[in-house]
Amino acid sequence: MRVSAPGHLNLAQLHLALRTRIEVDPRHSILFFTGNTLASVTCTLASLHHAHAHTDHFLYVTFCEENFQG
């Protein structure tokens, strides 16, 4: 999935936007990774881009759905 988003958006806001676009069980959580690192939801996309941009100048963020209990 490709998403174009403004740099001031943080991952928590992206999380909410993704939940509305894809069907995620309410008992599951979405985790974001940049490279092999779990990204903090308080980071802005601009700060993640500055730290983890690929050589083609795109930011690649992987997300996965995890079962969340409690």
What does the pLDDT read at residue 70? 60
What does the pLDDT read at residue 39? 93
pLDDT digits (tens, 9 = 90+) for 1-51: 788 889 999 999 998 888 888 888 888 888 999 988 999 999 999 999 999
What do you get for the CA distance between the two ends of the chain, in Å?
29
Residues 43 and 7: beta-carbon distance below 8 Å: no
**Three-state SS for 15?**
helix
Domains of the chain: 11-67 (3.10.20.90)
pTM of the predicted structure, to 2 decimals: 0.80
Residue 58 DSSP one-character state: P
Using alpha carbons, select from 26, 32, 34 the residue that is nearest to residue 12.
Answer: 32
Contacts of residue 44, defined as CB under 8 A and 6 or more positions apart, other chains included, come to 7, 8, 9, 10
